[in-house]
Structure formats: C-alpha cells, structure tokens
C-alpha cells in the first residue's frame, strides 16, 4: 500500500488530499494530512474584514471537516522532513514514513525582518490585513480614522496574492467616499516594483485605476525600516514617507519547518520545484503545491488549485512508475475588487500576460474590465472554495491549462512572469 503524506491542510493540502483520496481505494493508498492548527481560513476574505464587509466567523471553518472520510488528519506541527530517510518528524515526537510527500505548507509573514515594523505603533497605527487579528484590528482603526495620510506598503516580493494590496487601495477609496471623508485623506500606494504591477498591460491598467482615484503611486521603494511612533516608512536609499495610518504587507518566507529540513528549501524556505510537473528538484518522491513551491508565478489560491490538478495526476504516475505529465503552464487568475460593487478579472500564465477578452471562452466573464458581474464572481468564489475547490471537484469549464479562446492580442507574450 502506498503511503502518501501531505504537509499542510490549507488550500493546496486539502484539495490535493481530497483528490488523491478519490483516486485511490482505501487498500491501495493511505493519505495523511498534517497541520499545526484546526482553523481553515479563507484568506481572500481577509480583504473584506477591515471594511466591515466580512466577519471572522464568515471566513473560517474547522480544518479537519474539509477532509473527506478515509483521510488521516494529524493535528500537530511538522518539525522537519528527513529527506534521505523519507520520513517526516512531527512536533509531538512521532514520525511518518512516506512513499510520496506533498509539501503544502504555504508561506509565512516575516514582519520581524523589517526594522521597527513590530515595534511601537504595531497594531495601533501600523497594521497588516494579511492575518485575521490584523484585519480585525485594522477594521477598528479605520473606523477611528477621520483623515490624514493613509499609506499601503508592500515591503518585498514575493507575497501571497500580489493584487490584494491594490484591492485594499481601491476599497479604501470607496470606503472613505462612503464615509464622506475621502477629501480629507491622502491615500498612497508604496511598492518595491517599478510600476503598480509586474506585467506591462496589467501594470498600465492598474496604474491608471490608481490615478483615476487620486491614489498616489510610489514605486521602487524598498522599505528598510518602519517608525511606527514617528509615522514614517524609511527606504534603504533613505527616502521617507510619512503616515498617520499604515497598512503594511510584510515580507514572506516559506514555512520554518522547510528551512529546518536538510536540503529541502531554497534561501527563503520555498521548495525548488519543476514548473511544469510540480515535482521537487530535491527528491523524485517529493512534490510541492501552492505558496510553498518556488515557481515563477503568483502565490495565489487559483494557482494552487490549477497546480493541484496536475500534481495529483503526477503523484499517481510517480507511484505507478510512469512518466510525469508536464502540462502545468502557470495558469493563474484573480478577481480584483475595485470598489463600488465592481471587480476586474485577470487570467494569465507563465508566458501570456493578462489580456482583454472573456474567460473561460468567448462567452464568459469580461477580462480586464471593471464590472458588477465580476464583483458577483468574486463574492461567489467563496462558496465555490468551500463546496467545489476544497472537496476536489472540477469547476465546469475551468481547467488547469490557461484558455486562449476568448482572449484578444494573443500574439503578445512575455518572458518570466514572476510576481
């Protein structure tokens, strides 16, 4: 009997476990998921919490309940992987041997890596909405905020969902207008990138949307320190940006258990992974999915979902001694909430940047356009997440390979879409 062990029971670990459980009879393979806590958080919902549009209870569910019958769930931390021995060492001291290992431990925020970020002012006038506590604290801070300088800052790349800080800006503009205090607020978006986003067509479109809303864009700002008490972001090249309220997306690393595993992670603790098969370059029996994988594409739930489909096929092929399927093309898509009950959808992959048109085909959701339909799509996605994506069901018409049908300007391609 094959022993399949999955580290992490978030988006990638859960959908992978449920798909693998369906693929094998109980007497053919055991599927074990290890996670350190029992609360599954729908992370895209964090965006809405600061604006009072979602409550913590709306976006959290018990983790174990998202796993199908026949999957063993170990609620404990992973200490490390001993790749030579093909063994996972758990924090409770026990070990798990495996024939195939799926690393789905995501990414962790590292606010302590930026001088002063977690010092005076942290969770008082400096917040992040990338954690549930931070998003809840920010909701209260925004309610108290009556005007002044509101700064949204991305410290470093890569981050999960690179459009989320832009969405925060668009929603903040909407929220402040609803409260009638938009004219009393200087809203600034501060990014280490040289534009609002990485890929030329999307960067131009999103940069234009910031300008339309009178949101100042500051580029190539590498935050070296945050002075919460004094209300200043300070870059490595000694530029300063003052704030009364700062919303910071801290640097991200791979999970610490990867760094503790000899030879498993790169310098940031992400797992070097083949971008088409999802097999790690560390050992053939180790695969990586989602944020944990070091790949030249966004760290996003959609990416995790599309990767998962190919990864599940390849775990089966590996265990059967067959050649792997190298079909993952970097497919990613994202609804970008833009305020005023509208959203924009982008769809792209390793080679093709977001293009206008429709998704998933000529008749479908509009791409690169702010529409109410896309806003409804963004809201409906939470239902799809719990009821279709996590249980490992297919979403009709949506596949791991990026569709070109429905897109315009298909001849435009680019090198390396790393976000």
Q: Which of 292, 295, 345, 398 is the binder for ligand FAD (CB under 6 A)? A: 292
Total residues found in the chain within this entry: 419
φ and ψ at 70, to 5 degrees?
Answer: 95, -5
Strand order in the sheet with 332-339: 332-339, 342-348, 365-367, 357-359
Structure-token pair, residue 250:
């801290």
Minimum distance between the CB of residue 15 and ligand FAD, rounded to whole angstroms?
8
Report the interhelical angle of 301-319 vs 11-23 (nearest 10°).
Answer: 40
Structure-token pair, residue 335:
């609804």
Asked if residues 307 and 349 have their Cβ atoms less than 8 Å apart, the reply is no
Residues 299-338 that bind ligand FAD (CB under 6 A): 299-302, 304, 334
Exposure pattern of 311-335 as b/e (b: 16+ CB <10 Å)? Answer: bbbbbbebbeeeebbeebbbbbbbb
Exposure pattern of 143-153 as b/e (b: 16+ CB <10 Å)? Answer: eebeeebbbbb
Minimum distance between the CB of residue 341 and ligand FAD, rounded to whole angstroms?
16
Q: Is 246 in the site for ligand FAD (CB under 6 A)?
A: no
Q: Is 290 in the site for ligand FAD (CB under 6 A)?
A: yes
What is the C-alpha separation between 62 and 305, in angstroms, rounded?
20
DSSP secondary structure letter of residue 273: B
Q: Is 377 in the site for ligand FAD (CB under 6 A)?
A: no
Identity of the residue, 98 or 231, whose beta carbon is nearer to ligand FAD in the bound complex: 98
Q: Which of 291, 307, 313, 353 is the binder for ligand FAD (CB under 6 A)? A: 291
Minimum distance between the CB of residue 406 and ligand FAD, rounded to whole angstroms?
20
Minimum distance between the CB of residue 48 and ligand FAD, rounded to whole angstroms?
9
Q: Is 81 in the site for ligand FAD (CB under 6 A)?
A: no
Q: Is 46 in the site for ligand FAD (CB under 6 A)?
A: yes
Q: Is 78 in the site for ligand FAD (CB under 6 A)?
A: yes
Identity of the residue, 6 or 241, whose beta carbon is nearer to ligand FAD in the bound complex: 6
Q: Is 44 in the site for ligand FAD (CB under 6 A)?
A: yes
What is the C-alpha separation between 142 and 187, in angstroms, rounded?
13
Identity of the residue, 130 or 234, whose beta carbon is nearer to ligand FAD in the bound complex: 130
Q: Which of 257, 282, 343, 352 is the binder for ligand FAD (CB under 6 A)? A: 257
Minimum distance between the CB of residue 230 and ligand FAD, rounded to whole angstroms?
27
Minimum distance between the CB of residue 78 and ligand FAD, rounded to whole angstroms?
4
Residues 109-148 that bind ligand FAD (CB under 6 A): 129-130
DSSP secondary structure letter of residue 403: P
> Closest Cα to residue 296, out of 317, 318, 274, 311?
274
Q: Which of 9, 158, 207, 330 is the binder for ligand FAD (CB under 6 A)? A: 9
Residues 6+ apart with CB under 8 A from 321: none
Identity of the residue, 233 or 292, whose beta carbon is nearer to ligand FAD in the bound complex: 292
Minimum distance between the CB of residue 411 and ligand FAD, rounded to whole angstroms?
27
Identity of the residue, 234 or 328, whose beta carbon is nearer to ligand FAD in the bound complex: 328
Q: Which of 18, 20, 24, 35 is the binder for ligand FAD (CB under 6 A)? A: 35
Identity of the residue, 290 or 392, whose beta carbon is nearer to ligand FAD in the bound complex: 290
- Site size for ligand FAD, by CB under 6 A? 35
Asked if residues 294 and 327 have their Cβ atoms less than 8 Å apart, the reply is no
Identity of the residue, 155 or 234, whose beta carbon is nearer to ligand FAD in the bound complex: 155
DSSP result, 96-122: EE-SEEEE---EEE-GGGSBTTTSTTB
Residues 175-214 that bind ligand FAD (CB under 6 A): none
Minimum distance between the CB of residue 256 and ligand FAD, rounded to whole angstroms?
7
> Closest Cα to residue 161, out of 286, 296, 20, 336?
336
Q: Which residue has the tokens 């200043």?
A: 232
Q: Which of 6, 10, 125, 344 is the binder for ligand FAD (CB under 6 A)? A: 10
Q: Is 228 in the site for ligand FAD (CB under 6 A)?
A: no
Which range of residues in 101-109, 113-121, 186-194, 322-330 is near ligand FAD by CB under 6 A?
101-109
φ and ψ at 288, to 5 degrees?
Answer: -135, 145
Residues 6+ apart with CB under 8 A from 130: 46, 109, 159, 160, 164, 249, 250
Q: Is 6 in the site for ligand FAD (CB under 6 A)?
A: no
Which stretches of the chain bind ligand FAD, using CB under 6 A? 8-13, 34-37, 43-44, 46-47, 77-78, 104-106, 129-130, 160-161, 164, 255, 257, 290-292, 299-302, 304, 334
């Amino acid at each position: 009997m094959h022993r399949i062990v999955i580290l992490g029971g978030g988006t990638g670990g859960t959908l992978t476990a449920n798909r693998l459980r369906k693929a094998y009879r109980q007497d053919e393979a055991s599927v074990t998921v290890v996670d350190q806590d029992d609360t599954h958080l729908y992370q895209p919902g964090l965006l809405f919490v600061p604006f009072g549009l979602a409550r913590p209870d709306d976006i959290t569910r018990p983790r174990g309940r998202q796993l199908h019958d026949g999957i063993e769930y170990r609620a404990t931390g992973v200490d490390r992987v001993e790749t030579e021995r093909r063994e996972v060492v758990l924090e409770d001291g026990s070990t798990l041997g495996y024939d195939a290992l799926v690393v789905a431990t995501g990414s962790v925020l590292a606010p302590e890596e930026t001088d002063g970020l977690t010092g005076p002012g942290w969770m008082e006038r400096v917040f992040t909405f990338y954690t549930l506590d931070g998003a809840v604290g920010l909701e209260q801070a925004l309610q108290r905020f009556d005007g002044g300088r509101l700064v949204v800052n991305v410290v470093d790349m890569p981050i999960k969902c690179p459009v989320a800080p832009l969405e925060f800006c668009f929603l903040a503009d909407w929220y402040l207008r609803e409260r009638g205090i938009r004219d009393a607020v200087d809203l600034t978006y501060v990014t280490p990138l040289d534009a609002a986003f990485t890929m030329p067509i999307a960067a131009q479109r999103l940069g234009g949307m910031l300008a339309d809303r009178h949101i100042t864009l500051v580029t190539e700002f590498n935050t070296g320190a945050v002075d919460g008490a004094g209300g200043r972001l300070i870059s490595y090249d000694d530029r300063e940006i003052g704030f009364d309220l700062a919303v910071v997306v801290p640097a991200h690393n791979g999970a610490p258990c990867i760094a503790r595993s000899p030879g498993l992670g790169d310098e940031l603790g992400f797992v070097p992974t083949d971008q088409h098969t999802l097999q790690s370059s560390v050992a053939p029996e180790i695969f990586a999915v989602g944020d944990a994988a070091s790949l030249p594409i966004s760290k996003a739930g959609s990416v995790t979902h599309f990767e998962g489909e190919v990864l599940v096929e390849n775990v089966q092929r590996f265990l059967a001694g067959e050649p792997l399927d190298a079909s993952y093309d970097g497919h990613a898509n994202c609804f970008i909430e833009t305020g005023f009950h509208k959203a924009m959808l982008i769809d792209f992959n390793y080679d093709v940047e977001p293009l206008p048109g429709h998704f998933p085909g000529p008749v479908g959701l509009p791409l690169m356009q702010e529409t109410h339909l896309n806003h409804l799509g963004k809201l409906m996605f939470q239902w799809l997440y719990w009821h279709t994506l996590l249980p490992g069901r297919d979403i009709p018409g949506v596949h791991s390979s990026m569709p070109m049908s429905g897109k315009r300007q298909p001849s435009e391609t680019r090198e390396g879409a790393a976000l």
